[in-house]
Amino acid sequence: MSGSGKGILRNTAVVGAMTALSRVLGLVREMFQSRLIGAGVEQSAFVLAFAIPNMMRKLFGEGALTAAFVPVFRGEVEAQRMESARRLARAVMTMSLLMLSAVSALAVVGLSVALNWGTAFSERTSLTLRLTRILVPYMVFICGSAFGMGVLNALGKFAAAALMPCLLNVVWIATLGVLCFIPGMSLASRAVWVSGAILFAGFLQMAFMFYCMKRRGVSPRPSRVGWGDPNTRLVWRNMLVAAVGAGAVQINYMLDQVLAQAASPWAAGVIGYAERLMDLPLGIVGVAFGTVLLPTFSGCFAKGDVAGAREAFLSSTDNLLFVMIPAAVGLGVIAPDLTRVIYEGKAFDATATMRVGRAVACYAVGLGFFGLQKTLVPWFQAQKDMKTPLAVSVKMVFLNATLNILAVWLLPVEWRHVGLAASTVFCAGVACVWLAVLARRKNGALGFASLARPVGRTLAASAVMGVALWLVRSWLGARGWTGTWANVTQLGVLVALGGVVYFGVHFLFARHTFTARLRSLRHRR
C-alpha cells in the first residue's frame, strides 16, 4: 500500500473510530426511543419533523456548502495563503448563518400561525407541525457545526469534527433516560421533550466546533470582510449548483417520507429505524472515507496531481469494499436478530421487529453502493465540478420517485416499505455506475481493473461467511431459545462467528495483503 493510501486509511480510521462511538451511542438512543415512543404514529411524526432540519443540514451544511467551500479553502491553504483562507471562512460562515437564521425565524412564525389558526388538522398532522416548530431552529446550529467540520477537515484535523455528533447522542440519551422515570407521560409529549433536547444539543455542537476552529487559528467571529472576494463568489456559485443537486436528493428523501406515510401509518417510522441500523457500517466506513477524501482529492487536484488522486481513490475503494461487502452479507442474514435485540420491547412489538428486519435486509444489499457513492462524488467536487453529480442526482430523483410510486401502488401493505427501500438501493447502484463512467470520461481510466483480485477475494470470503452464518443461525433457531439474554447471546455468537470466518478466509488466502492493512492501521505519524 502506498504512502498516500496509508495516510488516507489512518485518517479514515480516526474518523471511523469517532464515528463508531457516535453510531454506537445512536443505537443506544434508538433502543431507548423504540421502547419509549414505539414505531407508530408518534414516531412517524417525529421522523418527518426531524427530516426538515436534517434536509437543511445536508443541503447547506455538510452537503452543498461544504462541498463548494472545502476545495477553494484547501486551495488557499496549499498555496500558503492562510490569511486569505481565514477571511474566506469567516465571510462564508457569516453569510450562511444569517441566511439560515432568517429562514428559521420565518418558518417558526409560519408554523405558529398555522397551529393557532388551523382547526382541520388531524392529530398526527398537528403533532408533526408542533415538532417541526421546535426542530426548525436546529438547522442553524447543525449547519454551523457542519461548516466548522469542513474547516477542520480541510486543515487535516479530523478527530474533533468526527467526535462532535456524540454530543447530540449524549443529550438525547440523557433525555430519554429522564423520561424512563415518567411512565405516565403520553407518547406525543415524549416526542416533544426529545425535540427540545435535540435543539439544545445543536447549540452545544456548534459551540464546540467554533471553539475547535478558533484553536486551529480560524476565528468564528462574524465578519463582513471578504463578502465580495472572488473566492467567496466562487464558493457561492459552486454552492448554488451543488445545492440544486443536494436539493434534488433531499426532495427525493422527503418524497420517500410522504410516500411512506401513504404506504401505511407506520411505514415512515419503520424505515427510520432500519436506516439507523444501516448508519452504523455506513457511517463508520462510508462517511469516514467521504470525509477524508474531499480534502485529500482537493489537495491533489490543487497541485495538478491527478495520478495521486487516482491512487487515493483506488486504495480507498478497496478498503471501503473490504468492510462494506461482508457487512452487507452479515446484515442480510442476521437482520431479524439484530432488530430484535436493538429495538424490541414495550412499545416496540414483534410485528415492528418483523417489519424493520425486512427493511434492513433490503437496505443491506445496497451498502456497497451507498459507500462507493461517498468516494465517487468527492472526485468531482474536489475539481470544483458540481454539475456532474447534480445531473446524476436529478435523474435519480425521477427514477426513484417512479419506482416508489409503483411500490406503494402494486405491493401489499406489509411489503410497501420494503419496496421503498429496494428503490433506494437500485438507484444507488445506477448512480455509482453512471458516476464511474463520467469520471473515466473526465480524467481517464480510474484503474478499476486493479481492484478485480482484491474485491474478488472479498466477495469469496463474504460468501463463505454468509453460508456459515445461515447454517449456524438455523441450528441455533432450532434449539428454541427464548428471552432477552438468549437473543443477545445468539446475536453475539453470530457476529463473532462472522468476523472469525471472514478474516480467517482472508488471512488464509491473502496473508500478505491482510497483514499490510493491519500494519497501516497500527502505524502512527
Q: How many Å apart are CA 213 and CA 357, to the nearest integer?
A: 41
- Rounded mean pLDDT of 481-504? 85
Does the pLDDT of residue 254 top 90, yes or no?
A: no
In this prediction, residue 102 has a pLDDT band, given cuts at 50, 70 and 90, of very high
Task: Tell me the three cell numbers of residue 129.
Answer: 407541525
Q: Give φ, ψ of 181 to 5 degrees.
A: -95, 10
pLDDT for the residue 190: 92
Q: Give φ, ψ of 134 to 5 degrees.
A: -70, -40
pLDDT for the residue 3: 47
Q: Mind listing the pLDDT tens digit for each residue in 271-303? A: 878 887 887 777 677 777 777 788 888 888 888
Q: Give φ, ψ of 196 to 5 degrees.
A: -65, -40
For 161-198, give one letter per residue: b (16+ CB within 10 A) or e.
Answer: bbbbbbbbbbbbbebbeebeeeeeeebbebbbbbbebb
pLDDT for the residue 4: 52
Does the pLDDT of residue 471 top 70, yes or no?
A: yes
> Maximum Cα–Cα distance for the chain, whole Å?
71
Which 3 state secondary structure label does DSSP give 217? Answer: coil
**Contact present, 54 and 143 (Cβ < 8 Å):** no
Q: How far is the CA of 506 from the CAs of 92, 149, 260, 502, 516, in angstroms?
A: 47, 35, 40, 6, 12
Q: Mind listing the pLDDT tens digit for each residue in 2-42? A: 545 555 667 777 777 777 788 788 878 888 888 888 777 78
Strand partners, 348: 345
Q: How far is the CA of 226 from the CAs of 94, 146, 211, in angstroms?
A: 10, 21, 22
pLDDT for the residue 522: 53
- Rounded mean pLDDT of 382-409? 86
DSSP for 39-67? TSHHHHHHHHHHHHHHHHIIIIITTHHHH
**Contact present, 343 and 31 (Cβ < 8 Å):** yes
Q: How far is CA 1 from the centre of its chain?
A: 28
pLDDT for the residue 60: 65
Q: How many Å apart are CA 311 and CA 319, to the nearest integer?
A: 12
Exposure of 160 in the CB half-sphere (CA atoms within 13 A): 23
Q: How many Å apart are CA 448 and CA 438, to the nearest integer?
A: 14
* pLDDT cut 70: percent of the chain above it: 90
pLDDT for the residue 524: 42
Task: Tell me the three cell numbers of residue 378.
Answer: 468527492
**Contact present, 330 and 472 (Cβ < 8 Å):** no
- Rounded mean pLDDT of 256-281? 77
Q: How many Å apart are CA 146 and CA 419, to the nearest integer?
A: 32
Q: How many Å apart are CA 78 and CA 381, to the nearest integer?
A: 17
Does the pLDDT of residue 248 top 70, yes or no?
A: no
- Rounded mean pLDDT of 433-448? 90
Q: Give φ, ψ of 348 to 5 degrees.
A: -105, 105
**Contact present, 274 and 363 (Cβ < 8 Å):** yes
Closest CA to 287 of 92, 495, 15: 15
Q: How many Å apart are CA 253 and CA 324, to the nearest integer?
A: 23
Does the pLDDT of residue 394 top 50, yes or no?
A: yes
Task: Tell me the three cell numbers of residue 147.
Answer: 461548516
Exposure of 149 in the CB half-sphere (CA atoms within 13 A): 29
**Contact present, 147 and 100 (Cβ < 8 Å):** no
pLDDT for the residue 274: 85
For 123-158, give one letter per residue: b (16+ CB within 10 A) or e.
Answer: ebebbbbbbbbbbbbbbbbbbbbbbbbbbbbbbebb
Task: Tell me the three cell numbers of residue 293.
Answer: 477524501
Closest CA to 74 of 303, 245, 396, 392: 303
Does the pLDDT of residue 401 top 70, yes or no?
A: yes
In this prediction, residue 519 has a pLDDT band, given cuts at 50, 70 and 90, of low
* pLDDT cut 90: percent of the chain above it: 21
In this prediction, residue 109 has a pLDDT band, given cuts at 50, 70 and 90, of very high
Strand partners, 345: 348
- Rounded mean pLDDT of 104-116? 89
Q: How many Å apart are CA 327 and CA 341, to the nearest integer?
A: 18
